[in-house]
Chains A and B, each alone.
Chain A
């Protein structure tokens, strides 16, 4: 049986070619092993974003959302909005206006959701009050999670 290390014992003009070939082969094996090991290792290290986030999103800390205000955020590939009513209740809706898909915003002076494009107005239950929108805003589920004093507002699809 020919073993790799037998090769080293043989002298002569073939010696250099053989050991060169062996070195080449070893280098080749090692580099391909590295070319495999590197992506696999990087794959195993958890990515920054943690986990797929299209079903639920952590929006903000509860303290960041003041009464009678709203925050627009990214939910998947569409905008959504969380609002805190004057009584303190937190609600979440899709911020895509049902008329022509502009983004709605919170209007503090009337405590309503307003679409700047054609003046569509929704109340804080997501129902259309006036203007062109044909339907109300899609409602999402709000959960408050986390350590006391540091709670996160988490919005997820129904």
Chain B
């Protein structure tokens, strides 16, 4: 049985995934306009469901507990949808590869020691971005099956593709920069979204 998330829960859910983000980012992830989000966020702040700090919003702990308790109601049907669950498990499998690729992107082997990658070795960087492209090819059918179960998840497929293309075009900040919707940011948020949908905990 499917139930559509109401707008309030969409906003709270998006805020939980974004953790601490400006209104526009929360609204975009929730698939609502900023005008729609504005009233809900203001109400949430006024009633202790969110706090605002440095122009960004975060869920309060109890609001997070209540939201999580409603997930069975919202997502129970997906937890029993074999195709969706299989796609989720596929994501978890390639998640390990993604983490290794990002780690290799961030580090460089210098004389046998791993140091922070200063991105001076173009060959190393290009090789890692090639691996990211190959991983994305594996991810695409999984993203398609996830979106078939829950169309709202197309958001992540679009973010991932845009970040990959920007990275391949030479704008390397799109690989893993945390201050933008880089490949790693979108992937991390999709992982968080899927864990919430499935009612699971992050392993590490």
* A, B from the same assembly: no
Chain A contact residues, CB within 8 Å of chain B:
none
